[in-house]
Amino acid sequence: MPIQTTKLPSSKELHALFSYDPETGSLTWKPRPPTTRTNKTHNSRDAGKEVGATDSWGHRQVRVNGKLRAVHRVIWKMMTGKDPKEQIDHVNGVYDDNRWCNLREATVLQNGWNRAPNKASSTGHKCVFPMKTKRLSSKKWRVRIRVDGTIYFVGDFHELEDAIAARDTFMLSRRDPEFVRG
């Protein structure tokens, strides 16, 4: 079941349900008033325990009002009082590290750029590809970047370091230093 990215409950309602420690990133259930059998069960079983479980990507998720929610989005709403505009990025790339210093609001492009290079990458660097040539001595590296659906050909380079530098220069020219990370 996909996680809901629609409007979250109010910050007040989330603070009533959860307790968040910004230093550790731990989101725990708060006790509920013991007025019903369900609340008593919750208090004995869940109160004080960390919420949710991890999905296949490694993000923590929790069910709020019957809908599955990403824990990092719940935390963002609790801390800022606002729903995230687009995505919440884990700065260090560890998806279940929900410390406040590790979360930032990001565009889809910024979030994607912050991911590790594809495991199939032969260079270990994003957007840098080896060119197939007949002579090993003329091996070149090609830099090709997709931004918002448009593919930009940056150039071909004899040295891998030159290709990486050209990629970084291109991304900085896009006026967003957050892209130059990998």
Q: In three state form, how does the secondary structure of 85-105 look?
A: CCEEEECCCCCCCCCHHHEEE
pLDDT value of position 182? 40
pLDDT digits (tens, 9 = 90+) for 139-175: 688 888 877 678 888 888 888 889 889 888 887 777 6
CATH topology of domain 116-179: GCC-box Binding Domain (3.30.730)
Consecutive H or E run containing 152: strand 150-157
pLDDT value of position 92? 82
pLDDT digits (tens, 9 = 90+) for 85-100: 888 888 888 888 999 9
The residues of the chain that CATH labels 3.90.75.20 are 11-107
The architecture (CATH level 2) of 11-107 comes to Alpha-Beta Complex (3.90)
CA 29 to centroid of chain Cα atoms? 23
For the chain, residues with pLDDT lower than 70 are 1-5, 39, 42-43, 109, 112-122, 133-139, 148, 175-182
Token pair for 84: 């995230």
Distance separating alpha carbons of residues 143 and 162, to the nearest angstrom? 10
pLDDT value of position 75? 93
The residues of the chain that CATH labels 3.30.730 are 116-179
pLDDT value of position 61? 92
DSSP state of 68: E
Amino acid code (one letter) for 165: A
pLDDT value of position 100? 93
